[in-house]
Amino acid sequence: MYRTREFEQMEIEYFVENDENKAMETYEQRKKDSLEYRTKVIEINPENLRFKDHEKLAHYAADAVDIEYRYPR
């Protein structure tokens, strides 16, 4: 028997002004808001969440991150 990893995937892209400082400020705020929503509204244990930065970026991206969830065993 072979077992594969099952997953659900969702993608959200934000495009902001062409100002690097403002873009990074918005990016960091969105990460903070996203984590707060998941931990306070949905009540996911923050120990089961992690931000994983991308090693390679799309040509139009200044930064990118995945939010990974560790399913409790």
Distance CA 50, CA 34 (A): 11
Segments in the chain forming alpha helices (H):
20-36
Give the tens place of pLDDT for each residue, 22-59: 888 998 999 999 999 999 999 999 999 999 998 998 88
The pTM score is 0.69
| Helix (H), strand (E) at residue 50 | strand 49-53
Distance CA 27, CA 30 (A): 5
3-class DSSP assignment, residue 68: strand
Higher-scoring residue by pLDDT: 53, 71: 53
